[in-house]
């Protein structure tokens, strides 16, 4: 059942992004930034965690989840380490995503050329 929920949720988030892209002058950069900030907002009241719990990995794929993870990292950092955790904890949860993006893009860049 989570498979269906994942399909619907991830699809709806992308649909929302596409509607914004088509009907406003916003660029993809604007839209992804807005979505990340929305994700952080949803994290404040633990809403996004509930969504992830219900939906499954389909809710982890949209960039909205990135903002939620950043907020969650900073908050958990504060809980465990105090004020310093706000700074040191923020990137812990998104580390896998950011590091793998950098590593894979670097490796790909070594092997491939830009196609025009």
Partner 1 sequence: MNKKEYLELVKKLTPKEEKLKNTFLAFLMGGTLGFIAEAIKLLLVYKICITTKEATTWVLIIFIFLASLFTGLGFFDKLVMKFKAGLIVPITGFAHSVTSSALDYKEDGLITGLGGYLFRLAGCVLLYGIIAAFFLAILKVIIYV
Q: Per CB under 8 A, which of residues 87..106 are in contact with partner 1?
A: 90-91, 96-98, 100-102, 104-106
Q: Considering the rule CB under 8 A, would residue 115 count as an interface residue with partner 1?
A: yes
- Shortest spacing between CB 81 and partner 1, in angstroms: 12
Which of 18/50 has CB closer to partner 1? 18
CB neighbours of 110 closer than 8 A, spacing ≥ 6?
none
By CB under 8 A, name the one of 51, 54, 81, 112 that touches partner 1: 112
Is the Cβ–Cβ distance between 21 and 28 less than 8 Å?
Answer: yes
Q: Considering the rule CB under 8 A, would residue 75 count as an interface residue with partner 1?
A: yes
Helix axes 64-81, 47-55, angle to 10 degrees: 120
Q: Output the six-digit token pair for 5.
A: 């929920």
Q: Which of 68, 63, 69, 73 is nearest to 30 (CA)?
A: 63
Is the Cβ–Cβ distance between 59 and 30 less than 8 Å?
Answer: no
Q: Considering the rule CB under 8 A, would residue 28 count as an interface residue with partner 1?
A: yes
Residues 43-72 contacting partner 1, CB under 8 A: 43-44, 55-67, 70-71
Residues 8-27 contacting partner 1, CB under 8 A: 8-15, 17-23
């Amino acid at each position: 059942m989570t498979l269906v929920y994942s399909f619907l949720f991830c699809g709806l988030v992308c649909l929302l992004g596409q509607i914004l892209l088509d009907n406003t002058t916003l660029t993809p950069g604007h839209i992804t930034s807005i979505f990340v900030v929305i994700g952080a907002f949803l994290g404040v009241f633990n809403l996004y965690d509930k969504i992830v719990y219900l939906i499954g990995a389909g809710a982890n794929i949209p960039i909205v989840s990135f903002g939620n993870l950043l907020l969650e990292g900073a908050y958990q950092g504060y809980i465990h380490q105090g004020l310093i955790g706000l700074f040191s904890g923020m990137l812990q949860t998104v580390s896998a995503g950011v590091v793998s993006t950098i590593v894979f893009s670097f490796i790909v860049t070594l092997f491939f050329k830009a196609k025009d």
